Amino acid sequence: MRLSLPTSRRACEVRMRFSKYHGTGNDFVMVEDLEDGFRPSAAFVLAACDRRTGVGADGVIRIARADEADFFMDYYNSSGEVAEMCGNGIRCLAKYVYDRGITTASELDVMTRAGLRHLEIQAQDGVATNVTVDMGHPAFERKAIPMTGDPDGRFIGWPLDVVERAFTATALSMGNPHCVLFLAQDERPETLNELDVPRLGRSVELRPDFPNRTNVEFVVVEDGRIHVRVWERGSGETMACGTGACAALVACSLSGRTGRAAELQFPGGILWVEWRDDDRVYLTGPAVCVFEGEFDDAWLSSLQEGAHL
């Protein structure tokens, strides 16, 4: 089902169509807007992402065309805030446009607020099964994350106390800010499962060290596999995070815990990340269409701000 929006401001006189997708459990409300006529308000995003009274999702993705790319991914966290990039979400976008015949290309360029991303679609019988995303270069300078302190300094392998618990931490940007926290070397994935991620993650996200706040990854490495739980800025704990997977792999490689490629186990499933010799990070994983539907007129009109056209 596809959204067809009028050019007038009759936002509540149409039944707005949407699709629900997920990438390794990281889920999204997808809105097709190829004519670029819809601007989701914070109220719309909050209501759509509500897991009791809305569709339920970690974010909203508006799919539009772009002059300088094949498509533009207009991404919003479930808090209603715009976000720079989403590695799981961009794979869902690729599956959406490929499976529906909006494009027949197996390689796409998608513009995001973090810049252009190149995608390669692996398909079987005309259906996208996995998508590889060129996630770009990691950035370590504090000014690029951003993080307070010496603008050209780095925060790699530093001790960090969080709510009376000690971690080793590395901060970097994958187009958005990340702080990767390593549990002690002798701790196992079972310990990771017991962490109070909401309490710890929120504490790190809101540290004054990160003026734009930060995403937070909690990491244990066992037998070459990286086990991760993630606290996403603006969404809370999610089942997986694509940019977080990239940040975790890079931090693990820098610390010697893994090589430059590894599987990452999230609560929502497995992602594969490779930090290649050209300094670019590549993320590979699945995307799944869950269901399609439409927002009711009365529900749309009940929103305080509504959906602005």
Q: Which residues does the annotation mark as catalytic?
A: 86, 241
Q: Note whether 3 and 16 are within 8 A (CB).
A: yes
Residues near 194 by Cβ (< 8 Å), separated by ≥ 6? none
Q: Note whether 133 and 126 are within 8 A (CB).
A: no
Structure tokens at 258: 């893994």
Rounded (10°) CA dihedral 69, 71, 72, 77 = -140
Give the number of other Cβ atoms within 10 Å of residue 259's Cβ.
Answer: 12
Q: 142: helix, coil or strand?
A: helix
Q: How far is CA 65 from CA 90, 108, 112, 182, 243, in A?
A: 14, 12, 12, 40, 23
Q: Note whether 97 and 71 are within 8 A (CB).
A: yes
Rounded distance between C-alpha atoms, residue 100 and residue 98, angstroms: 5
Tell me which amino acid residue 299 is.
W
Rounded distance between C-alpha atoms, residue 111 and residue 70, angstroms: 8
For residue 268, what is the DSSP state?
A: T
Helix residue ranges, H only, 213-265: 242-254
Residues near 68 by Cβ (< 8 Å), separated by ≥ 6? 111, 116
Helix residue ranges, H only, 208-267: 242-254
